[in-house]
Amino acid sequence: MLVVLAAYTAVVISNHGWDLLSVFFGDMATMAWPGQFNLDFLFMLTLSAIWVAWRHKFSTAGLALAFWRSSAARCF
């Protein structure tokens, strides 16, 4: 699965470049189905990050883990 994901990612990057955030939020701005999926996905990542932080009692390590696990850190 990792090989398939890496190959797919390489094709997308070669076709569209590294500019993930403008595509992600641009889809939301069009108010179409891809944007609805992106908004759902963003909320799921946010809620899971809040849950991770809560489970670690909002400690420094818990907040860092929540940020890392939310995948938001991987976009930068």
On the question of pLDDT at 5 being above 80, the answer is yes
pLDDT digits (tens, 9 = 90+) for 22-34: 888 999 999 999 9
Contacts (Cβ under 8 Å, ≥6 apart) of 52: 62, 65, 66, 69, 70
- The band of 76, judged by pLDDT with boundaries at 50, 70 and 90, is very low
Going by the DSSP 8-state scheme, the letter that residue 72 receives in this structure is S
What's the predicted TM-score (pTM) here? 0.69
